[in-house]
């Protein structure tokens, strides 16, 4: 388990880049004059899988161990717990988006709404990533 904790922040940051890359595939496809719903749907499925793996590592291991470390040092964890709760809300919003557009037909019939929702999700996810990388990840060491 020590090996897992040693490189945890690097692994999480690497997963962030992968998630951003997954969404980049969708953005590039949407920018085309004749975007493919098949490509978009496949990219969203890849993103959903990568997100699930990331959230499992982050929520089930990183945040749990971070709070233990902070408590052992006598640090006040109230703000960190609040931050974790806020990140959970963002995670749920992203999952709701993925559930709403989990079929090609849902994307195709509501492409204008999809594009709007997608833009919001990308922005929300990037805010979460920035907040984690410039904030809570720094407490690990």
Total number of domains in the chain = 1
36-49 burial, b if ≥16 CB within 10 A, otherwise e?
A: ebebbbebbebbbe
Structural element, H or E, at residue 128: helix 111-134
Taking residues 85-110, what's their average pLDDT?
93
pLDDT tens for 104-122 read 999 999 999 999 999 999 9
Please tell me the distance from the alpha carbon of residue 33 to that of residue 97, in angstroms, as a whole number. Answer: 23
> What is the residue-averaged pLDDT of the chain?
92
In this prediction the pTM is: 0.90
The pLDDT value recorded for residue 135 is 85
């Amino acid at each position: 388990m020590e090996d897992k904790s040693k490189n945890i922040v690097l692994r999480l940051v690497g997963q962030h880049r992968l998630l951003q890359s997954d969404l980049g595939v969708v953005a590039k496809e949407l920018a085309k004059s004749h975007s493919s719903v098949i490509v978009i749907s496949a990219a969203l499925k890849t993103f959903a899988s990568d997100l699930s793996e990331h959230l499992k590592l982050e929520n089930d291991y990183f945040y749990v161990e971070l709070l233990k470390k902070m408590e052992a040092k006598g640090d006040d964890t109230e703000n960190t717990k609040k931050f974790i709760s806020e990140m959970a809300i963002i995670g749920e919003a992203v999952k709701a988006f993925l559930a709403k557009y989990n079929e090609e037909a849902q994307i195709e019939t509501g492409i204008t709404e999809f594009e709007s929702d997608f833009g919001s999700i990308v922005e929300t996810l990037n805010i979460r990533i920035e907040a984690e990388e410039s904030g809570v990840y720094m407490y690990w060491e």
